Amino acid sequence: PKSDIDESEEETKLTKSKKKSSAGAAFLFQTSGYKDKDKKTKKKKGKAEETDDSESEKEDKSKKKKGKGKKKKERAPSPENEFDNLETFVMQPAPQGVTVKCRVTRDQRGMDKSLYPLYYLHLDNEKKTFLLAGRKRKKSATSNYLISIDATDLSRGGENYVGKLRSNLMGTKFTIFNNAVNPERALPDMSNARQELAGIIFETNVLGIKGPRRMTIIIPGMDKDGERVPLRPRNECDGLIVRHQNRRMDNLIELRNKTPVWNEETSSHVLNFNGRVTQASIKNFQIVHNKDLDYIVMQFGRIADDIFTLDFKYPLCAVQAFAVALSSFDGKIACE
């Protein structure tokens, strides 16, 4: 399949570089409280967190090896949850050194679903553990997606609402918010005001030529404990995207999509997804930090008409990664 290099060779390279990259990742994304003596405690914390999540990861990897060619019978997904608190899990950065492997499915069946599909995020493990659902709001001036931890409750007022993704009028810039209060209605100290979790900018392709779109993603930096630095803008002019435009980058991190390489044989742009993506699509992308192009913070790509793989790592959380994927589905006339 396209966008896939010799896997075995690639795997060995990956395991060698993995140790190096996960240690480096901590410092790549740290923007505050930078102290050397915290190295040790940080490592331990990372390890402890890892054990929580790596069970599904291990399950995942063994399944990957076994499942080549053989297809297991689909079990009905169990409604109960693996996590003590799903909301906490989807907002927490991925444990350091772990790749959280997920699947995004798009449901376009039904009267208005072709215009307003439903999107679901599941862990790509045997249980297909449900994480998030998203849908586009109907009466919004700009593209506005609700993100919920309940697949059946996608209402703004519901208690399962965890965040939203909102675009500008052109559909080229998006902001991800958590579920807290609009700053205009917040307390004077802003303690209950909503946080911005990411800003996404799609650069328009010159002359509208079809080709890989450039994406820039701005996220809040991490503190010395590997936690996200909260960013609660008082107004539009203080948000992630405007700060980035004005190069006010303190406590912010800039990520970009990895530039695909032109492949003469296939006459197309190609990225190496290590077997996780099987269909060529202009929407396939990988997100990296400029200082370490081998550390794939997130990758997203098509494996069937309405099924996509989404893998993400520290410092992203599930809500950030899912919302970035949703933004890439949105029809941006300016960019294609």
CA distance 126 to 77: 10
Structure-model confidence comparison of residues 21 and 253, the more confident one: 253
CA distance 329 to 336: 12
- Nearest residue to 168 via CA among 200, 138, 133: 200
pLDDT at 65 over 50: no
What angle (nearest 5°) sits at the alpha carbon of residue 323, between those of residues 312 and 132? Answer: 80
What is the rounded average pLDDT of the residues 65-93? Answer: 61
- Residue 268 has a pLDDT of 76
Model confidence over 105-154: pLDDT tens digits?
Answer: 999 876 676 778 899 999 999 999 999 999 998 888 888 999 999 988 88
What six digits make up the tokens of 292? 């370490």
What six digits make up the tokens of 108? 């376009």
- Residue 231 has a pLDDT of 95
CA distance 131 to 136: 18
CA atoms within 13 A on the CB side of 40: 1
Model confidence over 270-289: pLDDT tens digits?
Answer: 888 988 998 877 778 999 99
Residue partners of 204: CB distance under 8 A and separation at least 6: 172, 334, 335
Cα 311 to Cα 103, 245, 275, 324: the distances in Å are 8, 28, 12, 12
What is the rounded average pLDDT of the residues 83-94? Answer: 92
- Residue 1 has a pLDDT of 41
Model confidence over 227-246: pLDDT tens digits?
Answer: 999 999 999 889 999 999 99
Could you tell me the pTM of the whole model?
Answer: 0.78
